[in-house]
């Protein structure tokens, strides 16, 4: 009986658009904590709230609600969801709220969708401060005032872009790295030889055209924008207290080495040896990242084509990381290259859901001036098609599908581009030459190693690396886009714990809803 109830509940959850779920008892009435979870799901990634059941030690205990009581709770939900004094916005549609019979008892199943950025923060009562919630690995938590303000800033980003703010007191002559600016201008002219902006001789006028310098006609205020300072500024001027004092960009290369004392095999960060503005960071890091890509063997006419769709994918991923960062959030851009993946981490929340991100077609950018500067070099998309380039580039290589995750406290968006493939080779390709099967061209030595390795061992290594910080069971499964919880636990999690590769954050309570798994390394 218990297994049947468990399977039915898992089915209810998996039928929704999110794997996040919160069980709440309703035996003593409609739970007040429901609305905290409502706000938390709406402000994070959406999720499902199920009233009328508790989960204890992986056992589901039904409240035994009658059908009449379940429908009563449904009406209470509907009345409160449309009451602005209770919650700021009603998100669920009629089909998102259902009464379901399980094991002879009735449940109220409410799917709470992720709120659009323009409707966040979703808060309780009428004051967002002190009444706004989000989800982290421990459940619902009360947002700080700073988090709430960032949500309001995101909602208004189209009218008040964060990178368009004029940084008072900074001048082109003293605070801009002229070498970086002129390098950018030379690239622009080489790409657009007939463009009228290429004939502008004055640096300030050119910077005005690209959004690096701004004049506010209404106030008379003028000066270098936040985007201009970040893109072309001198390192010590960018981090000036009047600029971006917490600015830091970081490229970390962690390749295999026999020396345990070596933490990074290469690193690019503001160390005083170069002007660490975003333009120079992009150039240096892009040239490092493409070293992992197979050498192209394609001809365009009579000339060898030096770049492939995979190069476009890496370029797009790097630029997206730069232009979508939340300049007001804590944290900094971190790009990592390991033997198994390229990862791109930028601070802030996503302005669209993961479903919308992979669907494409909707261009929303926090920093439109930075976006414009890269677009003018032919390096960025504004039509929402950038993700298509990333997916197409990795598909052309035959490598594993890119994975996008969101982290909270601090907020980060992390895009992972796996290097190589962990799946078994398609039998239909066996025995074919490179000419017969173009998708096999450019295979690296690392590909050959990965294709011969045992799939289970490769995934274990990926889980170890992914769990360098505590992760939920659902997050680990989502890394591989798997759904069979029982099999995944039996094949990977339990053996890795037994082998000492993973440890539980709550070993004395294995079935705790707050359970996380972390690498033992």
Q: First-to-last CA distance in the chain?
A: 41
pLDDT at 208 over 70: yes
pLDDT level of residue 404 (50, 70, 90 thresholds):
very high
Distance between CA atoms of 331 and 346, rounded to whole angstroms?
A: 8
Two tokens at 410? Answer: 């601090």
> Residue 504, SS3?
strand
Q: Nearest 5°: phi and psi at 24?
A: -135, 135
Per-residue pLDDT, 451: 40
Closest CA to 250 of 292, 294, 290, 288: 288
pLDDT level of residue 305 (50, 70, 90 thresholds):
low
3-state secondary structure 404-470: EEEECCCCEEEEEEECCCCCCCCHHHCCCCCCCCHHHCCCCHHHHHHHHCCHHHHHHHHHHHHCCCC
Helices 309-323 & 368-375 angle (0-180, nearest 10): 150
Q: Which range (34-43, 380-389, 491-500) has the least confidence?
A: 380-389
Taking only the tens place, the pLDDT of each residue in 113-134 is 999 999 999 999 999 999 999 9
pLDDT at 304 over 60: no
pLDDT at 5 over 50: yes
- β 139-142/133-136 pair status: antiparallel
Contact 240, 167 (CB under 8 A): no
pLDDT at 49 over 50: yes
- In CATH, the architecture of 248-443 is 2-Layer Sandwich (3.30)
Per-residue pLDDT, 12: 59
Q: For residue 482, how far is the Cα from the chain centroid? A: 19
pLDDT over 90 for what percent of the chain?
57
Distance between CA atoms of 148 and 91, rounded to whole angstroms?
A: 19
Pick the CATH number of 454-521 from 2.60.40, 1.10.3470, 1.10.10, 3.40.1000: 1.10.10
Per-residue pLDDT, 8: 64
Domain segments of the chain as ranges: 2-155, 167-244, 248-443, 454-521
What does CATH list as the number for 2-155?
A: 3.30.950.30
Q: What is the CA radius of gyration of the chain?
A: 26
The whole-model pTM stands at 0.74
Task: Give mean pLDDT, residues 193-206.
Answer: 96
Taking only the tens place, the pLDDT of each residue in 164-182 is 999 999 999 999 999 999 9
Task: Give mean pLDDT, residues 143-158.
Answer: 93
Return mean pLDDT, the chain. Answer: 85
Taking only the tens place, the pLDDT of each residue in 242-291 is 999 999 999 999 887 767 777 888 999 999 999 999 999 999 999 999 99
- ∠ CA 155-161-164, nearest 5°, is 165
């Amino acid at each position: 009986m218990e297994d049947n109830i468990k399977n039915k509940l898992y089915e209810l959850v998996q039928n929704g658009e999110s794997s996040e779920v919160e069980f709440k008892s309703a035996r003593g009435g409609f739970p007040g904590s429901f609305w905290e979870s409502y706000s938390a799901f709406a402000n994070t990634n959406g999720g499902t709230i199920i009233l009328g059941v508790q989960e204890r030690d992986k056992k589901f205990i039904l409240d035994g609600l009658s059908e009449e009581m379940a429908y009563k709770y449904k009406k209470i939900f509907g009345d409160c969801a449309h009451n602005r004094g209770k919650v700021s916005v009603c998100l669920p549609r009629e089909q998102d709220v259902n009464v379901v019979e399980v094991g002879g008892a009735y449940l109220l199943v409410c799917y709470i969708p992720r709120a659009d950025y323009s409707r966040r923060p979703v808060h309780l009562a009428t004051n967002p401060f002190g009444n706004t919630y989000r989800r982290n690995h421990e459940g619902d938590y009360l947002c700080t005032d700073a988090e709430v303000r960032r949500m309001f800033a995101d909602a208004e980003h189209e009218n008040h872009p964060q990178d368009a703010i004029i940084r008072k007191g900074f001048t082109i002559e003293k605070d801009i790295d002229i070498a970086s600016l002129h390098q950018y201008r030379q690239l622009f002219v080489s790409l657009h030889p007939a463009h009228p902006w290429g004939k502008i001789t004055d640096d300030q006028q050119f910077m005005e055209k690209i959004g690096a310098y701004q004049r506010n006609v209404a106030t008379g205020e003028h000066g270098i924008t936040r985007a201009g300072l970040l893109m072309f500024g001198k390192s010590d001027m960018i981090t000036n207290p009047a600029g971006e004092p917490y600015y830091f960009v970081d490229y970390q290369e962690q390749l295999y080495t026999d020396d345990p004392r070596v933490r990074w095999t290469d690193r690019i960060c503001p160390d005083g040896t170069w002007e660490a503005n975003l333009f120079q960071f992009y150039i240096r890091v892009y040239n490092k990242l493409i070293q992992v890509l197979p050498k192209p063997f394609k001809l365009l006419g009579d000339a060898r084509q030096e770049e492939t769709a995979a190069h476009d994918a890496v370029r797009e991923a790097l630029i997206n990381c730069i232009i979508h960062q939340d300049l007001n959030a804590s944290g900094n851009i971190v790009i990592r290259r390991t033997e198994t993946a390229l990862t791109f981490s930028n601070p802030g929340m996503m302005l669209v859901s993961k479903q919308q991100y992979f669907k494409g077609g909707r261009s929303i950018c926090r920093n439109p001036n930075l976006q414009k500067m890269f677009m003018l070099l032919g390096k960025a998309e504004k039509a929402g098609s950038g993700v298509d380039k990333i997916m197409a580039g990795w598909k052309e290589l035959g490598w594993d599908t890119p994975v996008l995750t969101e982290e909270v406290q601090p907020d980060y968006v992390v895009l992972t581009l796996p290097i190589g493939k962990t799946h078994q080779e398609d039998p239909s390709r066996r025995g074919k030459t490179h000419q017969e099967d173009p998708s096999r061209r450019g295979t690296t030595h690392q590909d050959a190693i990965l294709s011969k390795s045992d799939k289970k061992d490769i995934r274990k290594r990926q889980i170890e690396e992914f769990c360098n910080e505590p992760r939920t069971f659902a997050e680990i499964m989502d890394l591989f886009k798997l759904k069979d919880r029982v099999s995944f636990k039996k094949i990977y999690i339990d053996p890795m714990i037994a082998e000492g590769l993973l440890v539980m954050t709550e070993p004395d309570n294995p079935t705790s809803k707050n359970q996380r798994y972390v690498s033992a390394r």
